[in-house]
Structure 1
Amino acid sequence: MRDNMTDSFEWMVKEHGKAIFNYIFSLVRQKELSEDLYQEVLVSAYLAFHTIKEPARLRSWLFTIARNKCKDYWRKENKTKQFWKEEVYSYSATVEAPPLPEEEFLHKDSVRKMAESVKTLPEIYQSAIFLYYFKDLTLLEISTKSNIPISTVKTRMKRGKEHLRPKLQAFAQ
């Protein structure tokens, strides 16, 4: 047995669904992503549908939900991109010729100094940085090994890098 709210919601989707999808697509320009965001909009709209007081504002209400879902996506995407762009240090190694003995010594010395700097960090940051940069574990592997959520690993990496940055800049000078 169907209730009036379900019928009203279905009518709303039939009436405004295509316009909402086209609006989302115009913002993100990716079909699959638009479909995902459209589904999120419909779920949010359905869950809050009973709260709408003015049916005349239904269309603008749906567009607001769609715009906010897109903003949430972009905000999340920008945080992810910014996190991955951060670097604690960078260097370039030549593949063509083997390193000179003095270069190898300097490299080992800088790695040793970096390891010493990492050891000065608080333990919660130290382990994430050490596992990532010295043991070449992925964030997911660190999360699994440490039995903590991946978001916590990312936060600890970010904060550990913030603590390390001034110390490592001293090496570059």
Structure 2
Amino acid sequence: MVGMKSDMLLEDIRLVDKVLQGDIESFNNLVNKYEVMVLRFVYNMIKQKEAAEDITQEVFITIYNKLEMYDRKHSFSNWILQISKNKTIDYIRKNKKVYEGNIDEAYDLSSQDMSPQESAEYREVKNSVKEYIKTLEDTDRQILMLRYTENLTFTDIAEILGLTESTAKRRYYKIRENYKSFSKK
């Protein structure tokens, strides 16, 4: 995994260098590589599809305009997610509210292979988790989202959110522990 991660970092740095030399196709490659990740990250923060798409576009405009500021000591994907987080927070502040997801846009993950009872239990747990997530602070929600949807390490999560690694871990495990109490209500 470590070798794969460093290969990805080297590939990203190679693409960044090409973009800085004027190669627009390399920027398109970066957009294609990270667009879904950014869109999913932003959508999970605001739960509004059109706004998430607009913010994602703004993120890539910002990346293009500030590419020379990218610090090669850090993961390019973490830098992108930091910009995504900041753009989304700016949007939330500007609009003074966080949007709840449209029920039609929610993706139903229940499997066709489940029995009716298993399916009902799954939906109950899924709803319980959704309700619990709504009670969390933004940072805690972001920690969960980055850990589960992006499969990031605590080091990466800490870097993206501006926390220490130990703080990210402590908050993550506290979130999990508090869910046990929440789900028993």
TM-score when normalising by structure 2:
0.38
Does 1 or 2 have the higher relative contact order (CA < 8 Å, sep 6+)? 2
- Which structure's CA Rg is the greater one? 1
State the TM-score, normalized to the length of structure 1.
Answer: 0.41
